[in-house]
Every structure is written in structure tokens, then in C-alpha cells.
Structure 1
Amino acid sequence: MPFSVTLPSLRQRLSTRIIVSSIVALLVVLGMVCWTLWLSWQLEGAGAAINDTGSLRMRANRVAVELLQRNPEHDQLTRQELALQAATLLRLQQGNPARPLFLPADARIRLQMQRVHQHWQDLHQAALHALAGEPADTYLKVLPEFVQEADLLVRMIEVDNASKTNLLRLSQAILLVIASIGTLAMIYLLYLWIISPVLRLQDGLRRMATREFAVRLPVETRDEFGVLADGFNQMADELEGLYQDLESRVAQKTAQLANQNRELGALYDMAAFLNQPSDIEEMCHGFLRRVMSQFSAEGGSIRVIDPQADNLHLVVSEGLSESLEDSEHCMQRDACFCGEATQKPVVVIRDFRQLPKPELFHCARDGFLSLAVFRVMSGEEVLGTFSLHFREQREVLAADAQLLETLGRHLGVALDNRRLSAKARQLAVAEERNLVAQGLHDSLAQGLNYLNLQVQMLESALKDGRAEELQEIVPLLRMGVDESYQDVRELLLNFRSKLEQGELQAAVVDTVARFRRQSGVTVALDVNDDEGAPLPPEQQLQVLFILQEALSNVRKHAQASHVEVTIRNGRDFEMVIRDNGRGYQPEEVAARAERHVGLHIMRERASRLHAELKLEAAPGAGVTLRLILPWQERQAA
């Protein structure tokens, strides 16, 4: 049975855990990096402050030197140094984050900066008084205190920088530890979340491949791997159930295949039997025996429909008593179950005893308990039925019923083919009889009519005693008898002619040689039969008949001394017969076409070949006959 799995929720998904842990690790790393960057920025600003604070001492000493020298030319430089000193103090107090330059955010340092600024105010006033001409003693007196306070400020900033430097190093060490621990934790989590479940799934598949269908995977989580493990377990349950039931299924399938093979064998044997040459009764007997043997039936019959009287006629039967055959040799189509089967595909009677009044049925009275009737069909036409009789209660399975229906169709096609073959043979016999009648009319009938006239003249001459006429009539009678004899020989020869494949050339040579002996006319024969494929025997025979009829007409009517026969077997087949006889007027022959039976016979034979027959003639110029068989009409030899 199909199994189903429940998808994990968003919080339970493995992808959610991986994304959340990755985001947490990223935030921690970014925080630490930002913290170290901030410390570096603080150290850089404090370092700039240390430099500027140191420059305060340098400039203060330089102003002292200038004031002691009392050089009026340097007063302007002194004032510039004082202005730069004031600007430096202002930068230190206000700071410059862009440089960066600023004092550490420490109250003691800020207080010290105020002291430095206060001393600078005193020092700056003393410097201005000295520039105004007063003694520089006051400046020199205040200067050490200012320098001392500036040095203290520098040391305080350096101490603060040292602590921040240590904090930066500690932060970097913590970041390194976090990176190492985070990497190990991520490796462990990936092993726990992904690698371990994959390994368990791989081991389960390996054991499953060795037909260890009892293996199950632990379902420890509700994430994707938990869903996979649950699905694997359900699949294992299904496979275990299937494998446990596999033997019975294999046996069942084997039995089905064996049954199908028996059915195919039965169909093949029946088709081979039905295709063997035999008459209808023999074929029906063989069919019925094989079907009864295949299905263990004790009796059977085959009936065909008479469409004129709407009756069913018994053709053959096996295992039925004479009384049953006599009573059911002919029945109405609606009289019994055999007729009912012509209206529906299958009629099955499992037990006659379960029917009302079973004694009314001849089969039941004959000792049969079960009956199965099937239609005999050719295409969509119902030709009849065949029945199987059982002396025990019998149920026909659906597969057996289908096989029997198929066998009924095979029998119907075989019966139809036999009937069509019989009709084809009758038609061929009728056509050949027609040609024989035409040949007799054209040869023997005319010759006998001529002899009849001569006999009448002979009787009249004998009665009147005209001896001179007797001497003239007797040679004419002999000549008429000889011609009739020759006609009979030609007809018998035509009737007996039979060719196999490749014998046309030899038959043509024999026909031309016989014509030379009978007529004394010289014949030029030119046969080229090597370029094209050989004609099949039936077409060869029709070509030979046309040649014989044409030469017979030359002997009887042409008064020729020379005949040419040319045969070319290339892509098209062509035969040309040309004589140098007296010829004829085509219009006159066309007007009396019904009287020229020989010409009519040749055209009928050419029509059978699907060939074209052409006649070219003129009075005193002989006759040329052309037989052309296009390559499209050639049959496979």
C-alpha cells in the first residue's frame, strides 16, 4: 500500500536551524570586528592627541627662547607660535573625529586638560606682556608649571591608550577563540544534523540492498532527515510485505504467463492448421477436435447460417449421439442456445438442471450438464456458431471465453477464405471454359461447318452422278479434316500447357519450332530475357497462349512466308509478332469484331495480364502485333 510522510514545520526544518546558527555566528563575528575597529579608532585619535599635546611643550619652550633673545624681528613669529598654540588647545578640547583626533572619554583626563588650558591662559598673558616690553621673568616663571601639567596630560593619555591596546589584544584573542570554537561547533552541528543522518540512511540502504528488510532507522528529529527516516521505515515496511508476498505473486504471474503461453500456442497451432489445404468438412473436424481437447469437452458441434432460410445447419459434430444429430441437424436461429449465440458473443449454461424444464433440451436429455456456445465470425459478419458440451458442471473463465471467441474468428476467416477460394476457382474455370468455347467456335466449329457443306455437296454429286465434282470435293474434304485435326492438336496443346518460373524462353522456342513444322513458314526468333526479372508462371502462361493464338492466326489467315518474333524482358515486358502476309483493313475488321474470336481471345488474355495489345495492319503489308506489359503491372515471381 502507498505510504505517506508529514512535512516538518518551518521551525523544525533543518534549513531553519542552519540559517539561524549561521546568522548568530555572523552577528557575533561582526560585533567583535566592529568592537576592534572602534578600539583602533580610539587609539588612533588618542595618539594624535598625544602628538598635539607634546607640540604644546615644544612651542611653549620656543616662545621662551624668542622672548629671551629680545629680537623685534621675531615678534611676529612669536605671535604666530602663540596662535598655533591656542589652535592646538582648541582642537584638543573640541576634537576632530575625521582626522581622527580627540581626548579619551575619561573625566580625569578632561580635568587635566582644563588645568593645562588654565596654565596656558596664564602663560599666554605673560607672553603678551613680554612682547609689550615687560621682562620675560613672569613667562619663565609660569612655563615650568605649564610644561609639567602638559606632561601629566600626555602620560594620562598614554596610560589610557595602553589599557585600550590591551583591550584590543584581548578582543582579538577572544575573536580567535570564538572563531575556533564556532568552527568546531559548526562542524559538530553539521555532523549531528547532516552527516550522521546521512550515514544512518546510507547504512540502512546498504542493509536493504542485502535484502535485510527488517532494518529500521531511528526517528530522532522532525526535520527533513526525520521525514526521510520515517519515509525509509514506511518503504521498508512496504518492501518487507512485498517480499514476503513475492513468492505467491511470482507463482501467480508464472501461472498467468504459462496460461498465456498455452493460449498463444493454441492460437498458433490452430492458425497453422486452418491454413493447411483441406476441404471445409475436414477443416471443421480438425478444429473441433483441437478445441475439445484443449478445454476437455466431451462433445461439440459446428453450425453455419443459411441466410436464405434463416436456419442453422449442422456441419460437423463430435461426441454427440445420432439422435441428437438427427434432431438438431437443422434448426431455426431462435430455436435453441446455438441460435441465440448468433445474437450475442457468448452463451454459457453452467447446469441444465437449474433451468426450468431441462427435459425440453436435447443436450440435457443426451446426458450433458453444461454448454458453451461461441460465434463463428469473419470480420463483422456472423457465419455460424460452434458449441462445446460437458457432462459435468462447468464454468468458462473470462480468459477461456476470450480465447474461444478468438478461435471462432480464426475459424470464420478460414471458412470465408475457403468459400472465396472456391468462388475464385469457379470463376477461373468459367473464364477458361469461355476461352475454350471461343477457341472451339473459332477453329473446330468453323472447320466442321465447312466439312458439313462439303459433305452435302458430295451427297448431291453422288446422287446426280457428277464424277468430276466428286474428284474436286474429296481433296477439299481431306484438307478440311487435316485443318480440323491441326486445330484439335493446338487446342489440346494449349490445354496441357503448364509453365514453371524461368521456362518461358524454352516454351517459346518449342512453340515456334512446332509452327515451322506445321506451316512451313520461316520464323526469325529474337529473345532477350536477361535484363529484367522473370515473369511469374501465371503471366508466362498467358504470354505463351497469346503467342500460340497469334501464330495460329498467321497460319490460318495471313498466307505469309516469313514471321518475326521478338521478345524483350527489360523494365517493361514486350513481345512483337510481325508477318509479311496479305494483311487486312483495320476498319473492316473492327466492323466485324464479333466474328474474329481469335482476336477477342488474345485481348481477353492481355486484359488478364493488365497488358496492352496493339495491332498494326494494312492490306498487302502484313500484320504487327505488340504485347506490352508495363513494369507497374508485373507480379513478383
Structure 2
Amino acid sequence: MTSSPDSAAGSTIGSTTGSTSDSAESAAAPFPRRLSTRIVVLSTVALALVLAMISGTLWLSWQLEGAGAAINDAGSLRMRANAVAIALWEARTGKPAQVDAQMRQLDETLRELRDGDPARPLFLPADANIHAQFERVASAWSDALKPAALHDLAAGAGEPSTYIGLLSGFVDEANGLVSLIERENARKTAWLRISQVALAALSCVGTVAIVYLLYQWFVAPVQRLQDGLARVEAREFHTRLPVDAEDEFGHLAQGFNRMVAELQALYQDLAARVDAKTAQLAAQNRELATLYEMAAFLNTPGPAESVCHDFLTRVMREFDAEGGTVRVVSPDDGNLHLLVSEGMPEALTLAEQCMPAQDCVCGGASAEAPVVFGLRAPGGASEANAAFAQRCLKAGFVSVAVSAIVAQNETLGTFSLHFREEREISASGIQLLQTLGRHLGVALMNRRLVALGRQLAVSEERNLVAQGLHDSIAQGLSFLKMQVHLLDGAAGRGDLDEIREIVPLLAGGVEESYDDVRELLLNFRTKLAPGKLRLAVEDTVARFRRQSDAELTLDYRDEGGPPLPPDQQLQVLFVLQEALSNTRKHAEALHVHVSVLNGRDFSLSVADDGVGYDPAEIASRGESHVGFHIMHERARRLSAALTLDSSPGNGARVALVLPAASRLAA
């Protein structure tokens, strides 16, 4: 059955043959109900027949499977009987044997054949001859062969002649059992084939009937709908389906006609616009993925050369470039220095290691937008950089795209992409290059700032070291220099009494300078782990007690405050060491009290009953009093408050308070 041709106007799809009868039947009864009834009845009959045939074949196959297992076990009787003979022979010759185990296995096989096992499945066919033959086999084993085996086993050395003599008869009986089961299996196999042929025939007849009915009920209307859809896909929006029945397909045809009418009114160039928008979104998604990947990659640690090389390879892959370079601007001479290159001839990279920015197209990118040069096009390269353009042309590159590397409105360099074919980069590609240049610029600037921060930290620490040297060793050496000058004058005059007075002063000055050096070296080497501050404070106090006659008391209280991190612990310890050093050198104190309180806030206090000092006089000296200046520097590093309290004749007190807001996590 085929669809009728279109009408003369070509706007209506003809109905299939047989649709007239459908219309007549639909007028006699409601179509949806009649159609559902037909489907239910047809499905029920087909299902019942199929289930009946399948059940029969499943029963036959189950029988065949059980009989097949029975054939295997019956055949194994021969093997197990021979195994018993071998075990008897080994036992008679003195070798280790398992006669009992072999006999038990044969008994177990006979038991399984007699009782069956539906789970495997295993069972003897329901045939009297087969069961009679099985009983003969079982009797031959239990009445003759098994007693003979036990007799031969008890007889000792020699050939098991009794068992061997009966073995061939048992094997013949087992062969007879196997043959009977095989013949029964062959008969059921024939029935299974007949059932399968009948099932196949029924399937063919049922299939033809079902196909015919389904064609009449469904296929013909669906074909008309499919033909209409094909015409709509071909943009024939004048296509209409005939509505010749008040059924589901009739309603579907009416809906189809309304849909096509609306599409005919709305559809103009929608497909092209959708394709264009899809391509645009795909390009934007690809650019966003590239930016995300690049931003994540540039934020990873690593040397600038490695970062720039990986950046260049990724950009080249994104834009299908055959070569590329990354150049940085030297702050000294303003020239472009080649940092990394990829896919560039060695001669070209050697010739362009360093060059003025205005002498090459690679320096033509500004911070505003990347530029694309066609090296063969007239005006693609200026006269000033024509020689450099010729180098690229000789290397096989005909187009170059150059973008600036920018960070905080500062041009750090440029990166270029070299192409062996003429290349035009879209506006979105130009914007992507510019954004990538900014990302690389930020990454390079961050690495410069990190390096500068490390240099600044080293410089600050060196400054504190210099201040410590000035406050201790430099003053001692100045005193020694003056005493050496006096000693030289006394030696010139031959004044032995003055020499005797100066020499002890020199010895004391040298010993004090030596102690200062050891103290500074100890301070410089001090490293603390989290929770080690108390031990370091106790060591510092013990060293002060060894170096001074003053009586020192320590009050260290831990009131639940979190431990300080190693950096802050070290700064606190330096303040304590500097305060005790000033007390030992200048205070002339009899008693010193050190208090450490680790609570919500951290506080350190060093108080003595020495000669004290005038705070106004110390303030007038500014940074010339290096010890106080160093303690203030340490306090600023901690973001802590440092208080120096003293008056002449009333001792001195140094107090350091680190508030909870300034504490770092250990």
C-alpha cells in the first residue's frame, strides 16, 4: 500500500488506500475506544500464544539440560571406576593412594543420578528403561565392583585382579545407561525443534497479521504525517494534511496544519540566525575556557621563563600559530629582550635577542590593542623594520600578530604569534589577545613584587643586624681603639704604671666585645618551632644570670592563649634579648623581673631597679640609641605596642603588648 500523489496544487498530502474503510468504521463506533479494544485483544491473544509456545520450549530445554547433566555424570562413572582401579594399583605398589576418596566420589555420583538436583538441573529422564538400566549400574557397583575393590585393597601387594576383572562389565553397563539417556535426549531435541518450527511459523503468521492491522490502524496515518514533516523540513510550509476522520490522527493532522501555518508566518531566516548565534556562543565559550585555564595556570608558582613558555605554547595552540615569542622591556635601556620563543628558527632568535622596540613589528603593539601585520602586504612593515620583516619572511612566516604585556597601565613587553599563511584575526580574537596579555602582565608583575618583597625583607633584617653590631661591637671597638691610643702614648713615655692600668681595661673590653659577638651570633641563629617560646625565654634568662650579678625572677603564665607562630615568637624573643642586654650593660641593677603573659593578648614586661635614664634625653637622640630603635622596629613588625618607662635613679621598664587582633595563626 502506497500513499496517493499530492493534489494538483501540491499543498495537500493524499490519504493511503484503506483510509475510507477506517472512516466508515469510525463513524460506526468511537475511534479511540475501538482502537484501544483492538490493541488489547490483539496483544492478549498474541501474548497467550507466545507464552504457551515459550513455556513448552523452556520445559523441553530444561529437560534437555537436566538430561545433558545426567549424561555427563553417567559418563563420569566410567572415569571414576577407572580412577578407583588406578588408586588400587598405587595402593598395592606401596604408593600413596586415595581409594576411599575415589569410591566415595563414585557413590556420590550414583546418589546424585538417583535423587536428581533441580537446581543444576540434573535428573534422569522419566523413562522406565533408563531407570532400569541405572539400577543395574548401581547394583553392579554396590554388589560386585565395590566389594571387589575393598577385597583387593585388603589383600595387600599385587595386582588388583578381582576389581580389574569386573571393571569391564561395569563400564559396559554405564555405556548402556549413557546410550539410553542420549536416545531420550535426541527424541526431546526433535520435539524441541518441532516446537521451534511451530513457534517460528506462528510468529510469521502473527507478524504478518499484526503488521497488516497495525498498518491499517497506525502506519498509513503516520506515513502521511511523516511525509508532511519531510516537506516541512524541506521548507515547504504550504504543506497541509487531509483531515478525513474525527479520531486521534484527525486531531493530530489539524494540529499539524495549524503548526505549519504558524511556522509559515514566523519562519524567515531563523535557522541561519540560530546557527550564527550558536557559533558565536561556541566561540565565546571557547574564549572563556581559554581565559579560565590561562588565569588558573598563571597563578601557579614557577619561574618567569617557564610561565612565559607554557603561556606561549597555549596561546599558539589556541590560535593555530606556527611560531611565537615573548619579549620583555628592559627598564635600563627600553629595548625588547627575547625571553622565550617557540617554533622560531635558531638564527632568527639569536639575531633578535635584544633590539630597540621601534626596529621590529614585535614592538608595534600598544597597550590599547594588539596589531596584526601582513608582512607581504604593502605597508605591512615600515621602512625602519623592513629588515626584521625580511627575516620573518625568510623563515617562512607571512603574518604576525603582536600584543602588549600590560600590568597596571605599564607595558612590560610583548608577545607575538607567527603564521605561515595569511591570517585575519576577528575582533573577539583581538580582544582575547589583549586580555591574555594583561593576565600575563599581572603574573609577571606579581613575581616581580614577590622578589622585591624578599629583597626588602632581607634588607630590613640586614639593617637590624647592622644596628645590633653598631650598638654592641662598634662601641666596644671604639673604646678599645681609644685605650690602644693611650697605651701607645704610655709606652712611648715609658710609663709602666699607666700601662698596668690600661692593660686590664683592654682585656675587659676584649672580653666584653667577645661576649657581644657570641650573643649576636646566638640571636642570628635562633629559630623557633610553634610552642617553643617558653624554652627560649628560659634559656635567655639563664644566659643573663650567667653574665650578670643581678638577681632575675621569671614569671611565665600561660592563660589559655593560642601559641604564637614562629615568626612572632622570634620577634618577641629578640625584644626580650635586647631589653636584657641593655639592662646588663647600662642599668647597674640589683634586681630584674621578667613577666610573660599569654592570654587573649600577649604581653612581655622587663623591669629593673637600676640607675634608669631620662626619656626626654633618649628621645632627643632619635635613632642614635640603636638598642631602643631595634626594639621599636621589632614591635612594628609584630604590630604590637612597645612602652619604655624610666626615670633617673628609679630603674626602667620595657613593656610589649601584642593584641589579639594582631596575632597570627600558629
TM range (shorter): 0.5 to 0.7
Per-residue CA distance 1:36-66 (angstroms, 9 max, x = gap):
xxxxxxxxxxxxxxxxxxxxxxxxxxxxxxx
Per-residue CA distance 1:115-153 (angstroms, 9 max, x = gap):
xxxxxxxxxxxxxxxxxxxxxxxxxxxxxxxxxxxxxxx
1:216-235 to 2 correspondences below 5 Å: 233-234=259-260
Shift in alpha-carbon separation, 1:479–1:405, aligned structure 2, 3 A = same
1:6-21 to 2 correspondences below 5 Å: none
Q: Secondary structure at the match of 1:526?
A: strand
Per-residue CA distance 1:282-307 (angstroms, 9 max, x = gap):
43334334433454433221223356
Task: Give me the whole-angstrom Cα distance separating, in 2, the residues matched to 1:309 and 1:504.
Answer: 50
Shift in alpha-carbon separation, 1:507–1:405, aligned structure 2, 3 A = farther
2:620 to 591, 594, 611: 591
How far apart are 1:442 and its partner, in Å?
0.9
Task: Give me the whole-angstrom Cα distance separating, in 2, the residues matched to 1:589 and 1:631.
Answer: 30
Q: Secondary structure at the match of 2:443?
A: helix
Task: Give me the whole-angstrom Cα distance separating, in 1, the residues matched to 2:621 and 2:538.
Answer: 33
Shift in alpha-carbon separation, 1:275–1:357, aligned structure 2, 3 A = closer
The amino acid across from 2:470 in the alignment is: H
How far apart are 1:602 and its partner, in Å?
1.0
Task: Give me the whole-angstrom Cα distance separating, in 1, the residues matched to 2:592 and 2:231.
Answer: 95
The amino acid across from 1:413 in the alignment is: V
Per-residue CA distance 1:333-369 (angstroms, 9 max, x = gap):
44433222115422123x5333458764132232212
Number of the residue aligned with 2:593: 564
Number of the residue aligned with 1:54: none
1:352 to 366, 375, 394: 375
Number of the residue aligned with 1:7: none
Task: Give me the whole-angstrom Cα distance separating, in 1, the residues matched to 2:516 and 2:370.
Answer: 62
User: TM-score, normalized by length of structure 2?
Assistant: 0.55
Number of the residue aligned with 1:415: 444
How far apart are 1:521 and its partner, in Å?
4.0
CA contact (8 A) 2:324 2:416 kept: yes
Residue 509 (1) aligns with residue 538 (2): yes
Q: Secondary structure at the match of 1:368?
A: coil
Task: Give me the whole-angstrom Cα distance separating, in 1, the residues matched to 2:366 and 2:465.
Answer: 44
Number of the residue aligned with 1:374: 403
1:481 to 510, 515, 523: 510
The amino acid across from 2:352 in the alignment is: E
Number of the residue aligned with 1:297: 321
Number of the residue aligned with 1:612: 641
How far apart are 1:520 and its partner, in Å?
4.9
Shift in alpha-carbon separation, 1:578–1:486, aligned structure 2, 3 A = same
CA contact (8 A) 2:367 2:409 kept: no
Total equivalences in the alignment: 422
CA contact (8 A) 1:337 1:347 kept: no
Q: Secondary structure at the match of 2:512?
A: helix
The amino acid across from 1:287 in the alignment is: F
Task: Give me the whole-angstrom Cα distance separating, in 1, the residues matched to 2:557 and 2:512.
Answer: 33
Q: Secondary structure at the match of 1:576?
A: strand
1:319 to 340, 343, 346: 343
Greater mean alpha carbon deviation, residues 282-291 or residues 443-452? 282-291
How far apart are 1:553 and its partner, in Å?
0.7
Number of the residue aligned with 1:280: 304
Number of the residue aligned with 2:455: 426
Shift in alpha-carbon separation, 1:472–1:366, aligned structure 2, 3 A = same
CA contact (8 A) 1:213 1:239 kept: no
How far apart are 1:312 and its partner, in Å?
3.2
CA contact (8 A) 2:369 2:431 kept: no
CA contact (8 A) 2:596 2:604 kept: yes
CA contact (8 A) 1:530 1:569 kept: yes
Number of the residue aligned with 2:482: 453
How far apart are 1:480 and its partner, in Å?
1.1
1:128-207 to 2 correspondences below 5 Å: none
2:522 to 493, 497, 501: 493
Task: Give me the whole-angstrom Cα distance separating, in 2, the residues matched to 1:315 and 1:625.
Answer: 53
How far apart are 1:411 and its partner, in Å?
1.0
Task: Give me the whole-angstrom Cα distance separating, in 2, the residues matched to 1:532 and 1:218.
Answer: 88
CA contact (8 A) 2:329 2:413 kept: yes
Shift in alpha-carbon separation, 1:577–1:376, aligned structure 2, 3 A = same
Number of the residue aligned with 1:341: 365
How far apart are 1:395 and its partner, in Å?
4.1
1:62-141 to 2 correspondences below 5 Å: none
How far apart are 1:443 and its partner, in Å?
0.7
Task: Give me the whole-angstrom Cα distance separating, in 2, the residues matched to 1:435 and 1:477.
Answer: 28
How far apart are 1:413 and its partner, in Å?
0.5
Number of the residue aligned with 2:660: 631
The amino acid across from 2:398 in the alignment is: L
The amino acid across from 1:348 in the alignment is: V
The amino acid across from 2:599 in the alignment is: G
How far apart are 1:545 and its partner, in Å?
1.6
Number of the residue aligned with 1:197: none
Which 5+ residue runs of structure 2 have no aligned equivalent? Answer: 1-221, 233-239, 246-250
Shift in alpha-carbon separation, 1:458–1:388, aligned structure 2, 3 A = same
How far apart are 1:539 and its partner, in Å?
2.9
Per-residue CA distance 1:387-437 (angstroms, 9 max, x = gap):
111233444455554443332222101111122222222322222222222
Task: Give me the whole-angstrom Cα distance separating, in 1, the residues matched to 2:380 and 2:450.
Answer: 45
Shift in alpha-carbon separation, 1:386–1:357, aligned structure 2, 3 A = closer
How far apart are 1:447 and its partner, in Å?
0.5
User: TM-score, normalized by length of structure 1?
Assistant: 0.57
The amino acid across from 2:376 in the alignment is: R
1:547 to 553, 564, 576: 576
Task: Give me the whole-angstrom Cα distance separating, in 2, the residues matched to 1:543 and 1:304.
Answer: 43
Shift in alpha-carbon separation, 1:238–1:305, aligned structure 2, 3 A = farther
How far apart are 1:233 and its partner, in Å?
2.0
Number of the residue aligned with 1:406: 435
Task: Give me the whole-angstrom Cα distance separating, in 1, the residues matched to 2:480 and 2:241.
Answer: 113
Per-residue CA distance 1:2-47 (angstroms, 9 max, x = gap):
xxxxxxxxxxxxxxxxxxxxxxxxxxxxxxxxxxxxxxxxxxxxxx
Shift in alpha-carbon separation, 1:323–1:563, aligned structure 2, 3 A = same
Which 5+ residue runs of structure 1 have no aligned equivalent? Answer: 1-203
Residue 383 (1) aligns with residue 412 (2): yes
2:491 to 442, 454, 462: 462
Per-residue CA distance 1:290-330 (angstroms, 9 max, x = gap):
43345443322122335675543333333333543354344
How far apart are 1:564 and its partner, in Å?
1.8
How far apart are 1:599 and its partner, in Å?
0.7
Task: Give me the whole-angstrom Cα distance separating, in 1, the residues matched to 2:243 and 2:266.
Answer: 18
Kindly name which structure, 1 or 2, has the bigger radius of gyration based on alpha carbons: 1
The amino acid across from 2:309 in the alignment is: H
Task: Give me the whole-angstrom Cα distance separating, in 1, the residues matched to 2:600 and 2:612.
Answer: 31
CA contact (8 A) 1:217 1:233 kept: no
Shift in alpha-carbon separation, 1:456–1:262, aligned structure 2, 3 A = same
Task: Give me the whole-angstrom Cα distance separating, in 2, the residues matched to 1:471 and 1:235.
Answer: 126
Q: Secondary structure at the match of 2:498?
A: helix
Number of the residue aligned with 1:444: 473
Per-residue CA distance 1:243-295 (angstroms, 9 max, x = gap):
x989x9899969966x7776566545544443344343343334334433454
Q: Secondary structure at the match of 1:367?
A: coil
CA RMSD of superposed structures (Å): 4.3
Q: Secondary structure at the match of 2:376?
A: helix
How far apart are 1:624 and its partner, in Å?
0.8
CA contact (8 A) 2:609 2:651 kept: yes
